[in-house]
């Protein structure tokens, strides 16, 4: 009799309390909820056109927390969000004005297309579209000056030789030489109300927008002029 009564009491309590416990648990943030917000906020701030993004590792401190989903949150990132290690501070405002702070750390991997050499390329080669292709790579394993846009590389001159499959970096390329040493050039001299053209000889090689020494053949004077095109330099007075 006592066992039957005790069983009925336990069954009654379970019937009432378990749904309440389940409902209460569903009103709290979980680790998965925090992870979803972390990734969503990262994507908003990412400088890349993200095609593939995932968390390799993730941690919340303190690990034991109870934050109701009705709480309003703000996020402050420690540093600039990027592929690799990222930390954000979640500040939750609870009912009554109380605050709860979570420190969230995640190692984010981002796979995006980057420019790589399609073939073996020699030093001083001028890059054409046929020399390059786009391949997806993990950004956290690449240098910060990796090139992600083909147009940024096409027409540039290699500063080193590259093997096929090498990821192209900004430090590997330069503007091509537009003017060679001892080459005849056109000097375009500009002032407030005048433009004068003269023939000259380049005393230094030059790339686009570089300042080089040029000898004016008419005056025999040496001047500093800016390279603006093939065989053309510009000087202002």
Tens-digit pLDDT string for the chain (237 aa): 555 655 555 444 445 444 433 334 458 999 999 999 999 999 888 776 656 888 889 999 999 999 999 898 999 999 988 889 999 999 999 887 889 999 999 999 988 899 999 999 999 999 999 999 999 999 888 998 999 999 999 999 999 999 999 999 999 999 998 999 999 999 999 988 889 999 999 999 999 899 999 999 999 999 999 999 989 999 988
Residues 6+ apart with CB under 8 A from 173: 127, 147, 153, 156, 157, 158, 159
Distances (CA, A) of 221 to 111, 137, 205: 55, 53, 18
Nearest CA among 41, 38, 37, 90 for reference residue 65:
90
Could you give phi then psi for residue 133, rounded to 5 degrees?
Answer: -150, 170
CATH of domain 112-174: 3.90.1210.10
CATH of domain 177-236: 2.30.30.760
Q: Where in the sequence of the chain do the CATH 2.30.30.760 domains occur?
A: 177-236
The β-bridge partners of 169 are 146
Structural tokens at position 128? 């054409």
Separation between Cα atoms, residue 67 and residue 116, nearest integer Å: 46
Q: Where in the sequence of the chain do the CATH 3.90.1210.10 domains occur?
A: 112-174
Contact yes or no for 86/98 (Cβ under 8 A): no
Structural tokens at position 91? 């500040």
Contact yes or no for 100/65 (Cβ under 8 A): yes
């Amino acid at each position: 009799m006592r066992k039957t009564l005790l069983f009925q009491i336990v069954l009654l309590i379970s019937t009432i309390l378990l749904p309440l416990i389940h409902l209460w648990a569903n009103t709290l943030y979980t680790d998965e909820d925090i992870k979803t917000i972390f990734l969503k906020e990262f994507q908003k701030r990412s400088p890349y056109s993200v095609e593939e993004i995932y968390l390799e590792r993730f941690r919340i401190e303190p690990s034991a927390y109870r934050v109701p989903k009705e709480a309003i949150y703000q996020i402050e990132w420690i540093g600039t969000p990027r592929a690799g290690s990222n930390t954000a501070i979640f500040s939750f405002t609870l009912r009554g004005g109380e605050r709860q702070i979570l420190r969230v750390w995640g190692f984010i991997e981002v796979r995006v297309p980057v420019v790589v050499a399609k073939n073996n390329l020699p030093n001083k080669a001028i890059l054409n579209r046929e020399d390059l292709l786009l391949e997806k790579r993990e950004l956290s394993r690449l240098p910060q000056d990796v090139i992600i846009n083909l147009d940024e590389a096409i027409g540039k001159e290699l500063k080193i030789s590259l093997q096929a499959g090498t990821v192209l970096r900004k430090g590997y390329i330069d503007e091509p030489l537009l003017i060679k040493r001892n080459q005849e050039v056109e000097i375009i001299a500009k002032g407030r109300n005048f433009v004068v053209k003269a023939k000259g000889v380049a005393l230094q090689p030059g790339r686009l927008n570089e300042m080089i020494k040029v000898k004016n053949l008419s005056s025999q004077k040496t001047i500093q002029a800016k390279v603006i095109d093939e065989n053309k330099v510009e000087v202002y007075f």
